[in-house]
Amino acid sequence: MNKHVEKAMEIRNETPMVNNCAQTILRAYADELGITGDMAAKLSANFGGGMKCGSTCGAITGGLMVLGALGVENPYVINQFRRRIADNHNGMTDCADLLKANAQKGGIKKVHCDGMIREAIELIDELVKSE
């Protein structure tokens, strides 16, 4: 398994679960970024739950933060990140829409969000390698 995914799932399975999707992703890369897990959690705290208002998914915003911190700023690559996630979810990128669609299928929120985190991390690592 991908080392970043493993770290993220460790974070998501902490009890109590206190990290949102963006925090989980940024914390999974914290050591490589030269920041503490606590600083990563603070920097990304307001991006979970779609920036706390159901807007862009925290896995996406967390991924964009990591890509930027790793020096990936090419607009084509950044757009590819967002577009590929949207393509995997019927064009949806907003937390509220993604969670509603998941609920309509009878899905469990944590399982859905963990999947979004995995998807974002795998894509981050793929894009970083290609840069």
Point out which residues pair with 56 in neighbouring strands. Answer: 94
Q: Is the pLDDT of residue 38 over 90?
A: yes
- pLDDT tens-digit readout, 84-106: 999 999 999 999 999 999 999 99
Q: Count how many domains the chain has.
A: 1
Q: How far apart are CA 64 and CA 101, in angstroms?
A: 23
Please count the CA atoms within 13 angstroms of the CA of 79 that sit on its side-chain side: 3
Distances (CA, A) of 69 to 1, 50, 53: 23, 20, 24
pLDDT score at 131:
79
Q: 1 pLDDT band (50/70/90 cuts)? A: confident
CA 66 – CA 55 distance, rounded (Å): 19
Task: Please write the tens of the pLDDT for every residue from 105-118.
Answer: 999 999 999 999 99
Whether the CB-CB separation of 49 and 98 falls below 8 Å is answered with no
Whether residue 59 has pLDDT greater than 80: yes
- Domain extent at residue 35: 3-130
